[in-house]
Amino acid sequence: MVGDAYLEALRNIYSLHARGIKPGLLRIIHLLDELDNPHLQYPSIVVGGSSGKGSTSSMIGSILREAGYKVGLFTKPHMLRYTERFQVGGREISQGELVKTYEEVWEAKESVESKGHYPTFFEFTVALAFQIFYKMGVELAVMEVGLGGRLDAVNIANTTLSVITNIHREHTHILGETLQEIALEKGGIIRKGKPVVSGAESGAEKVIKNIAYILSAPYHPIHDVKLLSFYPSPKGQEIELSLGESTWSFRLPLIGLHQIHNAKLALYAAKTFHSLPSHSIIRGLGKVYWPGRMEYLQKDGVPILLDCAKDPYSLALTLRPIPIYLGHNSVLTVVSISRDKDYKRMMSLLSKHSKYLFITRHRVMGRATDPKTLASFSTIGFKILPSVEDAISCALQYSKNFDNPLIFVTGSVFTVGEAIKYLRKEPSDPL
C-alpha cells in the first residue's frame, strides 16, 4: 500500500523534471553543504561509462556485501518504484525510510533555492542518496553516474575508486561529437592518486589512460582479466576468469557476453579495493540480482527475455548472444523506445533479428516514441498495440504459429518495467 506522504514526496520530486538536465556541480555542492556534506562521511566507488553501469555497480555491491561491508548502492533509472534507486545492505529502502530523509533534503533544497540555486531532479535524487546512506550508517557506497562524469552530480562523491565500464557515442549534444570528447567527460570521475578500473577500448582507452597518468591514478585495464572459459545457459553462465596468477570459477546468474565484461570489471574493482578475498568475489558474483537485464522467464510455457537496451550499442550486445544462450529460431519482439533515443537504428537492428514486431508505447511521462513512427522503420511484419501488456499478450498468441519461439521485450527500462509489472505482478508506484 502506498502512503500519502510517499505520494506527496514523489509528486514534489518529479516536479523537478521540469528543470531539465543541467550539467554542473555548483547546485549539488550547495545542496550537500546545506546538509553538512553527508557524502564526505564514507568513501564511494563511482561507476561511469556508456552502458553496463547498473549491472557493474550491482555486481560490485554484491561482492562488497559478501566481504562484510554495509553497502549503499545507488542506481538509475528505476523500473517500478523510485525507492529501487536506493539499496542499503542489499535491500531496497522502504517508503517510510525515503519519506523521512526526503523531508530533510527537501527543506535543504528550499533553503538553497532562496539563495538562487535550483537543483534538478537528478541532483536532488543524488543528494537524497548521499543523505540516506549517511543516515543508515553505510561503510561504503557504490554510486552509478547519471550522464557523462566530469559534471555529473555523482562526481561530488568522496571517491576511493573509479570504474569506467566502456565508452561509445551517446548524448553527443551534451558530451561531444567524438569518442575522444566523450571519453574526456567520462574520465572526469578519475581522482588524483586514486585507482581506476577501465573497460574502455581503442581511442577512448588512450584518453582514459592519459587522464590517469596526468592524475597519478593507478590504471587497471580490463584486458588484464582473462576469460578462460564460459558455459552459457538460459538462466546464467559458468565462468572462469584469471588475473595474474589467480583464477576464479563461478556461476553468474546474468546472461550475455557483455555481462562477462561487467563481471571482469567488478572482479578487478574488488581486487583493487583492499584486495577482497576470492570467496567474497565468487559468492558476490553468484548472488548478484539485476532484474530486467537479459532476464529469462516463462509465461504459459513460452520463454520470454527481458532487456532494458535503450540504444543501438546496447541492443546489438543483447541480440548477438541470443542464439548462443537461448538457441531460439523465432524471435518475436515487443518494443517501445523513448523519443530521445536513436530509434531508427534500433528498429533496423530489431528488424534484422526478429521474425515479427509488436510495437507499443510505454506510459512514462509521455516520453515514448509514437508507435506509428517506430513502425515506419520496420522492414518486417508488425502489429501496433496500445500497451506493453497488450503487446505481450498478443505476442503470446502469435507464438503458437512460430517454430521454437522467444518473446523478446526491449527498448527502454520503462518498457521492461511495465512488462515485469504485468508478468510478475510486482508492486509499482502510481506515478
Give me the CATH number covering residue 345.
3.90.190.20
Instruction: Please identify, among 261, 287, 313, the residue that sits at the C-terminal boundary of a domain.
Output: 287
Give this prediction's pTM.
0.96
With a cut of 80, say whether residue 365 has pLDDT above it.
no
Amino acid at 401: N
Tell whether 268 and 303 lie within a shared domain: no
Tell whether 276 and 309 lie within a shared domain: no
How crowded is residue 223: how many other Cβ atoms within 10 Å of its Cβ? Answer: 10
**Which helix H or strand E contains 382, and what residues bound it?**
strand 382-384
Tell whether 196 and 324 lie within a shared domain: no
Instruction: Please identify, among 254, 287, 320, the residue that sits at the C-terminal boundary of a domain.
Output: 287
Number of compact structural domains in the chain: 2
User: Is 304 a domain residue?
Assistant: yes
Nearest residue to 408 (alpha-carbon basis) of 315, 284, 301 = 315
How crowded is residue 412: how many other Cβ atoms within 10 Å of its Cβ? Answer: 27
| CA torsion through residues 60, 64, 136, 4, sign | positive
Answer whether 214's CB lies under 8 Å from 249's CB: no
Tell whether 307 and 275 lie within a shared domain: no
Domain of 134, CATH number, reads 3.40.1190.10
Tell whether 200 and 104 lie within a shared domain: yes
With a cut of 90, say whether residue 329 has pLDDT above it.
no
Answer whether 242's CB lies under 8 Å from 226's CB: yes
Tell whether 223 and 340 lie within a shared domain: no
User: Is 429 a domain residue?
Assistant: no
Nearest residue to 243 (alpha-carbon basis) of 214, 275, 196, 274 = 275
Tell whether 91 and 146 lie within a shared domain: yes
Tell whether 164 and 281 lie within a shared domain: yes
Nearest residue to 234 (alpha-carbon basis) of 131, 140, 154, 305 = 305
> Which residues form the domain of 181?
4-287
Tell whether 31 and 129 lie within a shared domain: yes
User: Is 347 a domain residue?
Assistant: yes
Answer whether 19's CB lies under 8 Å from 31's CB: no
Residues 6 or more apart in contact with residue 371 via CB below 8 angstroms: 336, 359, 360, 361, 384, 385
pLDDT digits (tens, 9 = 90+) for 209-263: 999 999 999 999 999 999 999 999 988 999 999 999 999 999 999 999 999 999 9
User: Is 431 a domain residue?
Assistant: no
pLDDT digits (tens, 9 = 90+) for 54-101: 999 999 999 999 999 999 999 999 999 999 999 999 999 999 999 999
Amino acid at 87: Q
